[in-house]
A and B are shown apart, each in its own frame.
Chain A
Amino acid sequence: MKILFRNGLLFDGRTLSGGKTDVLAEDGVISRIGTGLDDNGANEIYDLSDLIISPGFIDLHCHLRDPGQEWREDLLSGSRAGAAGGFSTLVCMPNTDPPVDNAALIRYLLEKGEECDGSRVVPAGCLSRERAGNNLAEMGKMAIAGAVLFTDDGSPVSNTNLLRLALQYSSRLGVRIMEHPEDRSLTLGAQVNDGICSTISGLKGWPSSAEASDIFRGASLSMDTGVPIHFTHVSTKESMNAMRISKASGCTVTCDVTPHHLCLVENMVISGGYDGVFKVNPPLRSVQDVDALWEGIRDGTVDAIATDHAPYHMDEKDLPFQESAFGIASLECAVAAILHEWKRRKDLCTLEKLLSLFTSGPASLLPEKWRTLGVIAEGSPADLTVIDPDFERVVDVSKWESKARSTPWNGRTLKGWPVMTVVRGKVAYKMPDHLSRVK
């Protein structure tokens, strides 16, 4: 199987080159990169003039709800949603039912993932047994089986000793620990950002300190053990400062931010009439917080953008705000939302910087064997994402591959979309009537 992509603007994972480049994918591997490549024997040829060809986007954090909550999402719907959203690789979170806390479930997800025709799916395993926060899960066995991260996401690891032990124990496994930063004693019953939104709504406030204090705690443990730690869905100015201070003092800490925290603000909860679609953990934050996250992208404090795609059934979301479930589904519009917002913020960072947070950034946080996913180079896997930076389209959640039927972006026109996703050398998604297939 040979696919030739002609005339694309090449982003290789780090730099965006101005000229037109051809990329040849052969049997799942990138075999040639150059100009005017010979199309001899290519099964398919696409003309990517004015489009960006990038390493396939990687989502470090999404909830595919498999096993056990398939009414919300499953591996197949999630994988297809991922491809439609421009992601060639999804890291699925282990807060399922049962939780993914053992090697058998890691193997189940990898095997079932192989059968899916959308994004590549790689699993994260629980840090603690039964995700109960008491004892270490069998991280060694899960690492051998193919787990790519360890996390109790959905919950923080509140027991500081357990988090320290997990860092020590995982040090030789080459699999990173991901912490969902939240001090639960500060967020009990909390619903929205502690600030304007909590003041006006009367909903209990979720203070920024609940997140930043957990980042400082984790950074301190990372310093102590010498083992890296990753913080996911970091959402406030204070947290960005915590990351900056920790990085500057030599801690091996990294973080990701989500599209909703980069594009939406707490006031939307009020202007949206307390619609559960705006309810998420951590909550939508202030304008100053959103600005600080973009500043973190600009100055390199942010290491990746991850969706935290959290699909629910409408019966769990279409409720009065306080009863609605925490979570925003975004897989199929996350990249577009980011590109749109980036343009709105005019040159706040380079496009290269932004694209790296979907590619080389997240790839560098995965185990060694997956790091070539983040680059386009001869010999690297043929996982590719094609971007049309000028294409405009309205988000229509009713047509999603995902089982989610609500998203804050529904009905909004976004500019800048992924138009093709290639996984293992095969076209996993192509926007209808968009790209010209030459052959």
Chain B
Amino acid sequence: MEWKQRHVLDLDTWKREELHYILEQTSSMDELLDRPIKKVPALRGKLVVNLFFEPSTRTRVSFELAEKFLSADVVNWSASGSSIGKGETLRDTAWTLEAMGADAVVIRHGAVGAADYLARKLKKSVVFNGGDGAHSHPTQALLDLYTAWKKIGSLERKKIVMIGDVLHSRVARSDIIGFSKMGSRVVLSGPPTLMPRSVDALGATYDPDPRSAVKGADIIYLLRIQRERQDEGMFPSLDEYHQIFGANESLLKLAGADTIVMHPGPVNRGVEIASNVADGSQSMILGQVRSGVALRMALLFVCLGGVRQ
């Protein structure tokens, strides 16, 4: 198929065929990861800059491995805090990167719309959104789709139950779009104070009780609870959260033996997920990590016009 997405900013503009195409490409990259020598020359001579304004070891390392396995030249440009705090504006950073000849820029930024902004400012480089504020995290969603697809096959008419802090989660926003486009039904659960106002605008439904929500679920997807949400008064205590909304064995039993458990990491054991669930046989958490590298390889390869060998 002819690839039309120039940047990867969010999945809202993607069609189901495009998602499928990337899943299939990811599958071939996944096989590559089993080989003794993982490196291929697909992106030799291409310069990829990882521009990280927020600390994120997992996403950065995953991108970096993907870039290196494809033989791209990699520069890690880390900057802490906002572009204002750093003294240089994101616009100037963007133009600097382009002047240096970056073919692609992976950006992780705390501000919503930072990737869109960068894409508006860059004339030639391809922008990959590595997460912008609570807005979007498309590569996480794609790796989640791949993980689920690989494990349970077609995602059509599957039920995904997402539990936790949807309000502040870019993972949730992108995953809801991704799973919905694949034909799945997404049910959200968690405290009402951590739900966005117009759940239906996301194409999802809300069930405040996780015990009823998980019935018949094909996937239980747990979202990370940040401690600061308790300090902000959005729920009374982590302990209460775990007791009511945490994923433990009894919740998993209500769902079923074939239900898979996913989490974007890093995991807060004893808060959103009990250790025996995180490490149990239904958990896909480590599979997600591996999928992340393969997916990012596929995405870089397709968007940078790499040559199939």
* B119 CB contacts on chain A under 8 angstroms: 273
Shortest C-beta distance, A318 to chain B (Å), equals: 7
CA distance A420 to B281 in the complex (A): 77
Interface stretch among B133-141, B147-155, B246-254, B264-272? Answer: B133-141
Interface stretch among A57-65, A201-209, A424-432? Answer: A201-209
A380 at interface (Cβ–Cβ under 8 A)? Answer: no
CA distance A310 to B246 in the complex (A): 47
- Contact check, A199 vs B198: say whether CB atoms are below 8 A apart: yes
- Contacts A200-B201, A202-B136 given; indicate if A322 touches B113 (C-beta within 8 A): yes
| Smallest CB gap from B113: residue in A | A274
Of B84, B117, B173, most buried by chain A (CB within 10 Å of CB) is: B117
Q: How many residues of B contact A (CB 8 A)?
A: 30
CA distance A321 to B117 in the complex (A): 8
* A274 CB contacts on chain B under 8 angstroms: 112-113, 116-117, 135
- Contact check, A273 vs B197: say whether CB atoms are below 8 A apart: no
- Contact check, A320 vs B83: say whether CB atoms are below 8 A apart: yes
- Contact check, B135 vs A320: say whether CB atoms are below 8 A apart: no
CA distance A231 to B219 in the complex (A): 50
CA distance A322 to B116 in the complex (A): 12
Please encode chain B, from 107 to 148, with 1 for each CB lying within 8 Å of some chain A CB and 0 for all others: 001111110110110000000000001111000000000000
Interface stretch among A149-157, A190-198, A251-259, A396-404? Answer: A190-198
- Contact check, B83 vs A319: say whether CB atoms are below 8 A apart: yes
A368 at interface (Cβ–Cβ under 8 A)? Answer: no
- Contacts A202-B173, A322-B133 given; indicate if A273 touches B198 (C-beta within 8 A): no
- Contact check, A320 vs B202: say whether CB atoms are below 8 A apart: no
A433 at interface (Cβ–Cβ under 8 A)? Answer: no
Name the interface residues of A175-201: CB closer than 8 Å to any CB of B: 191, 194-196, 198-201
Please tell me which one of the listed residues A195, A196, A273, A315 contacts residue B113 in the complex, with CB atoms under 8 A apart: A273
- Contact check, A202 vs B168: say whether CB atoms are below 8 A apart: yes
* B290 CB contacts on chain A under 8 angstroms: none
CA distance A319 to B121 in the complex (A): 11
Of A196, A199, A201, A202, most buried by chain B (CB within 10 Å of CB) is: A202
CA distance A123 to B109 in the complex (A): 41
CA distance A384 to B202 in the complex (A): 50
* A319 CB contacts on chain B under 8 angstroms: 83-84, 89-91, 117
B82 at interface (Cβ–Cβ under 8 A)? Answer: yes
* A352 CB contacts on chain B under 8 angstroms: none
B199 at interface (Cβ–Cβ under 8 A)? Answer: yes
- Contact check, A199 vs B199: say whether CB atoms are below 8 A apart: yes
* B84 CB contacts on chain A under 8 angstroms: 319, 323
Please tell me which one of the listed residues B135, B136, B197 contacts residue A194 in the complex, with CB atoms under 8 A apart: B197
* A200 CB contacts on chain B under 8 angstroms: 173, 201-202
- Contact check, A205 vs B170: say whether CB atoms are below 8 A apart: no
* B136 CB contacts on chain A under 8 angstroms: 202
CA distance A406 to B123 in the complex (A): 21
- Contact check, B197 vs A203: say whether CB atoms are below 8 A apart: no
B236 at interface (Cβ–Cβ under 8 A)? Answer: no
- Contact check, A202 vs B82: say whether CB atoms are below 8 A apart: no
- Contact check, B134 vs A195: say whether CB atoms are below 8 A apart: no
CA distance A321 to B116 in the complex (A): 10
Shortest C-beta distance, B92 to chain A (Å), equals: 10
Shortest C-beta distance, B226 to chain A (Å), equals: 14
* B170 CB contacts on chain A under 8 angstroms: 202
B196 at interface (Cβ–Cβ under 8 A)? Answer: yes
- Contact check, A320 vs B117: say whether CB atoms are below 8 A apart: yes
CA distance A320 to B116 in the complex (A): 8
* B113 CB contacts on chain A under 8 angstroms: 201, 273-275, 320-322
- Contact check, B89 vs A315: say whether CB atoms are below 8 A apart: yes
| Sample of 29 A–B contacts (CB below 8 Å) | A194-B197, A195-B201, A196-B201, A198-B196, A199-B198, A199-B199, A199-B201, A200-B201, A201-B113, A202-B134, A202-B135, A202-B168, A202-B173, A203-B133, A273-B117, A273-B120, A274-B112, A274-B116, A275-B120, A319-B83, A319-B84, A319-B89, A320-B90, A320-B112, A320-B114, A321-B113, A321-B117, A322-B111, A323-B84
B residues apposed to A, CB below 8 Å? 82-84, 89-91, 109-114, 116-117, 119-120, 133-136, 168-170, 173, 196-199, 201-202
Query: 10 more A-B contacts (CB under 8 A) besides A199-B202, A274-B116?
Result: A195-B201, A199-B196, A200-B173, A202-B169, A202-B173, A273-B117, A274-B113, A319-B83, A319-B90, A320-B83
